[in-house]
Amino acid sequence: MSTITINGQTLTFAPDSTVLETALAHGIDIPRLCYHPALKPSGGCRLCMVEIEGRPNPAPSCGLACQEGLVIRTESDQLTTMRRDILDLFVSEHPMTCATCDKDGACDLQRYANQFGIMETTLGFEPARTLYQDDNPFFVRDHQYCILCGKCVRVCNEVVGMSAIDYAGRGFDSHIATPFDGLMVDSSCVFCGSCVQICPTAALVPKVRIGQGREAEFETKRTICGYCGVGCSLEFKLKDERAIYARGFPEAPVNGEFLCVKGRSGWDFVSSPERLTQPLLRKDVAYALGLASEPWKLPDTSPLKTHGRDNFLPISWEAALEIVATGFARVIGEFGADAIAGLTSARCTNEENYLFQKFMRAGIGTNNVDHCARLCHSSSVTGLGMAFGSGAMTNPIEDIRHADCILITGSNTAESHPVISYEVVRAVNAGANLVVIDPRRTPMVDHASLWLQPAPGTDVYVFLAMAHVIVREGWADQPFVAARTEGFDAFAAGLLEYTPEVAALHSGVPASKIELAARLYALGLRNDAAALVQDPDSFATPATRGNSTILYAMGITQRKNGTELVLCLANLAMMSGQIGRPYTGVNPLRGQSNVQGACDMGGLPDVLPGYQKVTDAEKRRAVARGWGLEDLPPELGLTVVEMMHAAVDGRLRAMYVMGENPMLSDPNLTHVEEGLRALEFLVVQDIFLSESAQLAHVVLPAAASLEKDGTFTNTERRVQLLHPVLPAPGEALPDWVILMQLATKFAEKINGGREEPRSQVRWHYASQSEIMDEAATVTPSYGGMSYARLAGAGLTWPCPTREHPGTPILHREKFTRGLGKFHAVHARHPAEQTDAEYPLILSTGRVLYHYHTGTMTRRSEGLDWREPRGYAEINPVDAASLNLRDGGPVVIHSRRGQVRTQARLSNNVQPGVVFLSFHWKESPANVLTQDFALDPYAKIPEYKVSAVRLENPSKRAK
């Protein structure tokens, strides 16, 4: 083992580590200001100087590589003098106003100045920089406190990948600057706050932190971010029960100190005055029940255009639960249990999802339970299930950083999964190749060594041609294919016709790029040869295969042939042997905080917890017995889109919606509204009066994720504990408490009329921990989980027993289904084709600053400040023919409706393609999307391709 000597101690060091890292790893502290473990050393502050035996001069330890036998001293009179001189220089420019500074007690400069007794300069104080930049709601840059350590510049380059700021000017004028010293908002800054987090001084301070007092007075509470599926850990700083600001922390298992703008700054919606604080009863129901004196009728105006607060009267919890339980019981009595459907929520905890589906199945007695995963990754669940036997990310997020080649397709990673994009940026900065296959120029393309831009809906040709090339060139991993998979020969035979030339013809991607992508991916090549992209032939095939990973998201899944596209990616991974090892895999990036968990817990119409098919009598009965019943309903339930159809034609009479907003998220909104209005009884449980809640008969106020405990399962299958940070407002209750009380009340009502011994079913729990304990008994992959074991970094499923350590990497020795199965796939065109009347293709998607239907993010002042309205990206060529102005209005028409929004001219989209974000109810993208072309396996609608035309509504159009 290799060792060095520091201060007389002999210490082992990790390969490629520096003297500073080794010292820190062994608990030896060396003063340092510009070092950060996630960043390349810059050697800028020189505070970390150490003496090296046999060398005349000290050197910065942060950049000093460990070598066998190195003898180091970190403390000496000479070093102390040097450090004092350095600090003296800093302090000669930096006002030591510590007593009143927001960074007091958390500032590295203050700490070292104290330690070395240089609280005042001996050189004469002269401030070098005076600029105070207060141009955004997220943070302030006060240049007089800046010591030019460059950590903010490096984190923005090396981790965030935005490069929004850099050193500018020279000598005395040097400072950290945005382009042209302009506003942050005019730079490429994404307000992630990573620079603020790691700035050693008060030069960067969160705005909400200013004037709130000393860090030491704050209380600290940690929980998991409630937005996306990355599952970042947040640390809240509180004072007097009020959250002051949020930050990352180094031990956070997924994200370390880094977060995105939503996680760091987008949680203020919880204290919005619009939060629901009392159960609400719609006025017409109140009248019918004799609780209101005036008759009333629900207005016909679409909830997209109203706020609906006047539709309701507040009632007590007791009354509300009574009305809901009676309502459900009545519908069952009249129309049967299958006339009721429930939407569970990807934003609620595992325990709540478990309880919700248990209520639907064991309480109501139907499999009509689904949630919006149907609309995002159901094709991953089916496709990866068919190929591998398990439909989730195969590898952990941290594997991405060590991959040699990363293939991203149909994922706007930087905006939808920001913290995962940081891992990609770090990999690329370390020399990995990034191949992006996407019709739209997403921010990831800036980091790509190769970008393939297929016309929308034609990427299937590109994938098939890549597979064709891999077979043709002999790049397939024959030993892996032979030992671990089946069906390869039939699959390979089906590839013959899909040459790169054929693919080029359909997709518009040059054949040479397809060949290069196939090569980079299959062989896992690094970007070490700069000439690679220009001259692929200069690059010799290495003896050993590198590691390639695939990241994909809704650009693949929200398609008519979504399952087949997922199979294409699975085929590529298996034929190249890029799965079942660290740093490889096929990784669907899941959208919402607990969408993985909502699926795991059986919030789907065809499976029970742990993906046990409802049609599998043996497994179904086992779950039933676990719940104290003989059996459960055996028929498949309705999916989200089918529910809306069934509501319109009267097969469905009542719905229970927990934390979902189909009025904005589902395709063909006009039809959804028709369906919800047709229901006899609609119960919505949410934190805000969402567009869907406005149509409800009863609205139940729920607690937000920051206000409760429970667990979320992130996109890498890591189950993590939440902790309440704030109290819930008013009478709002955690969803699990509401469910428990409702189910108990409902059981009392229904038991009289039924023969089954429903009273055996347990509906009462003292805590979510108890719910997890029960869920573990019926969910094999969660079998070994309990709150005690989940503390800390959580556990990754499958974790079948109490001793099992969890499974970060799936399919290692064998696939979940045994052998990996190749499926022959044939190219299909999107369901809706363009024609003379609707000549353009519309694709929908997300923007960084908003989440889902905007119920949370639009009530966050900072996020709403940055992107207050929706917009469409339109290629300048298409804009020119209509005289559309950049920033001006545009109306988009499809066969189903029209939407008015802001036009942004952009070369991110090809001519003929329009991109529209879906978060805004003023410009609801899903009025335009279609719900008729569902993927045959997963029933997912094709959000990504609709035919549209544009209209210029302004008078000056002509």
Partner 1 sequence: MSNATSQRKYVYRGDPIIEAPPAELGAILERHLGERDALITALEEVQRHYGYLGQDHLRYVARTLGFPLARVFGVATFYNLFVFDPPGKYQVRVCRGTACHVNHSGAILDHLCDRLSIAVDETTPDGRFTLQTVACMGACSLAPVVVVNEETLGRMTPTAAWEALQALDGDETTVRDASATQNG
**Residue numbers of the site for partner 1 (CB under 8 A)?**
135-137, 157, 162-170, 177-180, 185-188, 207-208, 210, 265, 268, 446, 530, 533-534, 860-862, 864-868, 871, 876, 886-887, 902, 904-907
Return the range that interacts with ligand SF4 (CB under 6 A); candidates 220-228, 539-547, 669-677, 871-879. Answer: 220-228
Q: How far is the CB of 839 from ligand FES (least distance, A)?
A: 58
Query: Which of ligand SF4, ligand FES, partner 1, none binds 262 (CB below 5-8 Å, type-dependent)?
Result: ligand SF4
Cα 188 from Cα 157, distance rounded (Å): 11
Query: Which of partner 1, ligand FES, ligand SF4, none binds 167 (CB below 5-8 Å, type-dependent)?
Result: partner 1
For the segment 406-465, give every residue that binds ligand SF4 (CB under 6 A). 418-419
Instruction: Tell me the DSSP string of 39-68.
Output: S-----S-TTEEEETT-SS-EEGGG-B--T
| Torsion angle in degrees (nearest 10) through CA of 351, 355, 361, 365 | -170
For the segment 241-260, give every residue that binds ligand SF4 (CB under 6 A). 255, 259-260
Q: How far is the CB of 272 from partner 1 (least distance, A)?
A: 11
- E strand intervals along 626-728: 654-658, 681-686, 698-701, 710-713, 718-722
Cα 603 from Cα 597, distance rounded (Å): 9
Q: How far is the CB of 440 from ligand SF4 (least distance, A)?
A: 20
Q: How far is the CB of 500 from partner 1 (least distance, A)?
A: 23
Q: How far is the CB of 234 from ligand FES (least distance, A)?
A: 27
Q: Which of 23, 39, 48, 470 touches ligand FES by CB under 6 A?
A: 48
**E strand or H helix at 303, and its extent?**
none
Does the footprint of ligand FES cover residue 46 (CB under 6 A)?
Answer: yes
Q: Which of 32, 94, 151, 209 touches ligand SF4 by CB under 6 A?
A: 151
Tokens coding 785? 């989980």
641 and 558 Cβ atoms separated by less than 8 Å: no
Q: How far is the CB of 259 from ligand SF4 (least distance, A)?
A: 4
**Three-state SS at 6:** strand
Instruction: Tell me the DSSP string of 373-392.
Output: GGGTTHHHHHHHHHHTS--S
Q: How far is the CB of 174 from partner 1 (least distance, A)?
A: 8
Rounded alpha-carbon distances, angstroms, from residue 756 to 109, 169, 440, 751, 762? 71, 80, 55, 8, 14
Give whichever of 548 and 860 is closer to partner 1, judged by the CB atom. Answer: 860
> What binding mask, one character per residue, do residues 6-45 give for ligand FES by CB under 6 A, x or -?
--------------------------xxxx-------xxx
Q: Which residue has the tokens 């590109």?
A: 462
Query: Which of partner 1, ligand FES, ligand SF4, none binds 228 (CB below 5-8 Å, type-dependent)?
Result: ligand SF4
Tokens coding 606? 């065809």
For the segment 60-119, give every residue that binds ligand FES (CB under 6 A). 60, 62
Query: Which of ligand SF4, partner 1, ligand FES, none binds 152 (CB below 5-8 Å, type-dependent)?
Result: ligand SF4
Q: How far is the CB of 113 from ligand SF4 (least distance, A)?
A: 14
Residue 672 has φ and ψ, to the nearest 5°, of -60, -45
Query: Which of ligand SF4, ligand FES, partner 1, none binds 32 (CB below 5-8 Å, type-dependent)?
Result: ligand FES
Does the footprint of ligand SF4 cover residue 231 (CB under 6 A)?
Answer: yes
Give whichever of 118 and 198 is closer to partner 1, judged by the CB atom. Answer: 198
**Three-state SS at 233:** strand
Cα 357 from Cα 337, distance rounded (Å): 14
Cα 419 from Cα 397, distance rounded (Å): 9
377 and 588 Cβ atoms separated by less than 8 Å: yes
Query: Which of ligand FES, ligand SF4, partner 1, none binds 259 (CB below 5-8 Å, type-dependent)?
Result: ligand SF4
Give whichever of 47 and 847 is closer to ligand FES, judged by the CB atom. Answer: 47
Q: Which of 23, 62, 230, 375 touches ligand SF4 by CB under 6 A?
A: 230
Does the footprint of ligand FES cover residue 280 (CB under 6 A)?
Answer: no
271 and 288 Cβ atoms separated by less than 8 Å: no
Question: How many residues lie near ligand SF4 (CB under 6 A)?
Answer: 39
Does the footprint of ligand SF4 cover residue 704 (CB under 6 A)?
Answer: no
> What binding mask, one character per residue, do residues 255-284 give for ligand SF4 by CB under 6 A, x or -?
x---xx-xx---------------------
Does the footprint of ligand SF4 cover residue 738 (CB under 6 A)?
Answer: no
Query: Which of ligand FES, partner 1, ligand SF4, none binds 555 (CB below 5-8 Å, type-dependent)?
Result: none
Amino acid, single-letter form, for residue 804 = H
Q: How far is the CB of 446 from partner 1 (least distance, A)?
A: 7
Q: Which residues pair with 933 in a beta bridge?
A: none
Exposure on the CB side of residue 883, measured as CA atoms within 13 A: 7
Rounded alpha-carbon distances, angstroms, from residue 361 to 339, 637, 792? 13, 10, 33
Does the footprint of ligand FES cover residue 206 (CB under 6 A)?
Answer: no
Tokens coding 486? 């089946």
Query: Which of ligand SF4, ligand FES, partner 1, none binds 45 (CB below 5-8 Å, type-dependent)?
Result: ligand FES
Query: Which of ligand SF4, ligand FES, partner 1, none binds 35 (CB below 5-8 Å, type-dependent)?
Result: ligand FES
**Three-state SS at 723:** coil
- Burial (CB < 10 A; 0-12, 13-18, 19+), residue 761, is middle
Does the footprint of ligand SF4 cover residue 916 (CB under 6 A)?
Answer: no
Does the footprint of ligand FES cover residue 655 (CB under 6 A)?
Answer: no
Give whichever of 265 and 453 is closer to ligand SF4, judged by the CB atom. Answer: 265
Q: How far is the CB of 140 from partner 1 (least distance, A)?
A: 9
Query: Which of ligand SF4, ligand FES, partner 1, none binds 881 (CB below 5-8 Å, type-dependent)?
Result: none
Cα 60 from Cα 31, distance rounded (Å): 10
For the segment 177-216, give every residue that binds ligand SF4 (CB under 6 A). 189-195, 199-201, 203-204
Cα 334 from Cα 363, distance rounded (Å): 16
Query: Which of partner 1, ligand FES, ligand SF4, none binds 60 (CB below 5-8 Å, type-dependent)?
Result: ligand FES
634 and 617 Cβ atoms separated by less than 8 Å: yes
Neighbour-count burial for 384-415, b at 16+ CB within 10 Å, e otherwise: bbbbbbbbbbbbbbebbbebbbbbbbbbbbbb
Does the footprint of ligand FES cover residue 200 (CB under 6 A)?
Answer: no
Q: What is the DSSP letter of 589?
A: P
Q: Which residue minimizes CB distance to ligand SF4?
A: 263
Q: Which residues are CB-contacts of 273 (< 8 A; sequence separation ≥ 6)?
A: none
First and final CA of the chain: distance in angstroms? 77
> What binding mask, one character per residue, do residues 72-101 give for ligand SF4 by CB under 6 A, x or -?
------------------------------
- Burial (CB < 10 A; 0-12, 13-18, 19+), residue 865, is middle
Does the footprint of ligand SF4 cover residue 227 (CB under 6 A)?
Answer: yes
Return the range that interacts with ligand SF4 (CB under 6 A); candidates 113-121, 161-169, 355-363, 787-795. Answer: 161-169
Give whichever of 104 and 446 is closer to partner 1, judged by the CB atom. Answer: 446
Rounded alpha-carbon distances, angstroms, from residue 640 to 353, 378, 660? 16, 11, 11
- E strand intervals along 331-423: 340-343, 369-370, 405-409
870 and 857 Cβ atoms separated by less than 8 Å: no
Binding site for ligand FES (CB under 6 A): 32-35, 43-48, 60, 62
Binding site for ligand SF4 (CB under 6 A): 146-152, 155-156, 160, 162, 164-165, 176, 189-195, 199-201, 203-204, 225, 227-228, 230-232, 255, 259-260, 262-263, 418-419
